[in-house]
Structure 1
């Protein structure tokens, strides 16, 4: 059950993260990062690794995108 919730949070964060890849919308990563951390935390409680790995992937992509934009956009 925790894996399903984690995967759903990860999919929402991934959708927002894809929007945040558009130039000047990088500030949206400040919403994506906490959502991905929350999803990874929920995924840690699960016996499976799928949801957690999805959230960690989204987290890494969001942090790299935010870093490339100078932590502004």
Structure 2
């Protein structure tokens, strides 16, 4: 159950991260990162690793985009 919840949180964060790849919308990644941390925590508590790994991949995309934009843009 926690794994399914982690995947759902990851999907919501992915919906936020995808439009944040457009220039000047990078600030939306800062909204997605706390969601991803919650998803990673829930995925860690579950017996399966797929939800945690999905949230880690989405988080990596968000962090790379933030680092390329200087952390703001």
Same fold (TM over 0.5): yes
CA distance in 2, matches of 1:38, 1:3: 12
1:66 lines up with 2:62 in the alignment: no
- Alignment match, 1:23: 23
Q: Which runs of 5+ in 2 are unaligned?
A: none
How far apart are 1:14 and its partner, in Å?
0.7
1:42 aligns with 2:42: yes
Aligned mates of 2:38, 2:19 — CA distance in 1: 19
Gaps of 5+ in 1: none
> What TM-score results when the alignment is normalised by the length of structure 1?
0.97
CA distance in 2, matches of 1:37, 1:50: 15
